[in-house]
């Protein structure tokens, strides 16, 4: 099976300078591909660099170094305004907090139509309005909502508006940065199901960023685990859950509550000790099984391999 790569990220770095002589290596060399139609989950604790990675990929930030290709074309580097506009249309982002990411002084109509205006996708006002009304229905709101303002909606509804705004330009690829973290648990599944339905109907590709592994497993085909600016493990979702190799991944998995109270009572949380690694050489990203990657030294690699064989 040959799969078409939508996104290729190679050794991407984003460092921030924080005062004199201080550098924050928010993203410090990550490499992965995303295939057409899949959902790639990116997980890791707060501050591990997930949002910075997403924002750098979509070029909200300039990369410090490394490469991002979208449909085979370099996203960073020098670009004409036309080329940038084209990327801009094909890649969209959905944010965590639908409250602060929607302008409170704009109507829902104008918020959703922003991309339509920028890319001149409607011939006149009537067509513009019609497109927005269609989008509202696609995301489970109704067209009467177009004249209202963001504060008149619940968190879940606001996130639907954010999704409609992203869809307005007919993107191929969407980066969703913790799109459900700020919502009530009861609403989270609804928004995830909406995203999944949209993916099926429109052939969308997602980079889905999340804190914890519980919802991500349900939505992702493959998962990358970030720790302090690095990808420490990457595998198909099932493989990652069944055969986690990196101690940090094991620790994240041990934090997920189990639905069955009998097992939940006996669940053991594994703490991650970053100082317990082999330091005889710089760790590298190595393929331990087909399509299963882990960041480790050669010594750790042999040890992890043995553990996998014993299973």
Ligand X SMILES: Nc1ncnc2c1ncn2[C@@H]1O[C@H](COP(=O)(O)OP(=O)(O)OP(=O)(O)O)[C@@H](O)[C@H]1O
Window contacting Mg ion (CB under 5 A); options: 43-51, 108-116, 235-243, 286-294: 43-51
Decide: helix, strand or coil at residue 12. strand
Closest CA to 13 of 261, 229, 281: 229
47 touches ligand X by CB under 6 A: yes
The CB-side HSE value for 100 (13 A sphere, CA atoms) comes to 4
> Rounded to an integer, what is the distance from CA 44 to the centroid of its chain?
11
How many other CB atoms sit within 10 Å of the CB of residue 168? 26
The 10 Å Cβ neighbour count of residue 197 is: 13
CB of 46 to Mg ion, least distance (A): 7
Closest to ligand X by CB, 48 vs 249, is: 48
Mask of contacts with ligand X, 10-39, x by CB under 6 A? Answer: ------x-x-----x-x-------------
Decide whether 54 or 150 has the Cβ nearer to Mg ion: 54
Distance separating alpha carbons of residues 216 and 169, to the nearest angstrom: 26
Stretch that binds Mg ion, among 45-53, 128-136, 222-230, 241-249 (CB under 5 A): 45-53
Tokens of 190: 């609804």
Measure the CA–CA gap between 291 and 114, rounded to whole angstroms. 40
The Cβ of residue 242 has, within 10 Å, a number of other Cβ atoms equal to 11
Least Å distance between CB 207 and Mg ion?
A: 13
Selection from 233, 191, 286, 223 nearest residue 34 by Cα:
223
The total number of residues shown for the chain amounts to 311
Listed residue (110, 177, 195) closest to 150, CA to CA:
110
Query: Of 48-56, 76-84, 251-259, 267-275, which part binds ligand X (CB under 6 A)?
Result: 48-56
Compose the 183-222 pattern: x for residues touching ligand X by CB under 6 A, - for all others. ----------------------------x-----------
Residue 249 interacting with Mg ion (CB under 5 A): no
**Residues 65-94, mask of contacts with ligand X (x by CB under 6 A):** ------------------------------
Per CB under 6 A, does 44 bind ligand X? yes
Closest CA to 168 of 139, 200, 208: 139
- Mention every residue, 6+ apart, whose C-beta is less than 8 A from residue 143: 133, 136, 137
Residue 48 interacting with ligand X (CB under 6 A): yes
Does 51 help bind Mg ion (rule: CB under 5 A)? Answer: yes
Which range binds ligand X by CB under 6 A, 41-49, 132-140, 214-222, 239-247? Answer: 41-49
106 binds ligand X (CB under 6 A): no
224 binds ligand X (CB under 6 A): no
Residue 41 contacts ligand X per CB under 6 A: no
Give me the residues that bind ligand X (CB under 6 A), please.
16, 18, 24, 26, 44, 46-52, 211
């Amino acid at each position: 099976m040959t799969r078409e790569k939508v996104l290729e990220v190679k050794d991407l770095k984003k460092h921030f300078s924080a005062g004199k002589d201080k550098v924050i290596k928010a993203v410090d060399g990550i490499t992965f591909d995303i295939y057409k139609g899949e959902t790639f989950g990116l997980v890791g604790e707060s501050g591990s660099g997930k949002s910075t990675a997403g924002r750098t990929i979509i070029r909200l930030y300039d990369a410090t170094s490394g490469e991002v290709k979208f449909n085979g074309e370099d996203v960073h580097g020098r670009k004409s305004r036309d080329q940038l506009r084209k990327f801009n249309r094909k890649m969209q982002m959905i944010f965590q907090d639908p409250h602060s990411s929607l302008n409170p002084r704009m109507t829902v109509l104008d918020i959703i139509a922003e991309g339509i205006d920028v890319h001149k996708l409607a011939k006149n006002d009537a067509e513009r309005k019609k497109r927005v009304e269609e989008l509202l229905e696609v995301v489970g709101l109704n067209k009467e909502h177009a004249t209202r303002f963001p504060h008149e909606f619940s968190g879940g509804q606001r996130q639907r508006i954010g999704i409609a705004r992203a869809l307005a330009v007919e993107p191929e690829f969407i980066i969703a940065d913790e799109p459900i973290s700020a919502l009530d648990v009861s609403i989270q599944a609804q928004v995830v199901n909406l995203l999944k339905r949209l993916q099926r109907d429109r052939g969308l590709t997602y980079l889905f960023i999340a804190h914890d592994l519980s919802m991500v497993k349900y939505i992702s085909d493959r998962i990358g685990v970030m720790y302090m600016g690095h990808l420490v493990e990457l595998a198909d979702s099932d493989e990652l859950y069944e055969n986690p190799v990196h101690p940090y991944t094991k620790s994240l998995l041990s934090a997920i509550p189990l639905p069955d109270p009998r097992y939940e009572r006996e669940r053991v949380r594994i703490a991650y000790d970053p100082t317990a690694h082999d330091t005889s050489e710089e760790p590298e990203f190595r393929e331990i099984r087909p399509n299963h990657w882990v960041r480790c030294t050669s010594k750790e690699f042999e040890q992890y391999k043995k553990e996998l064989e014993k299973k």
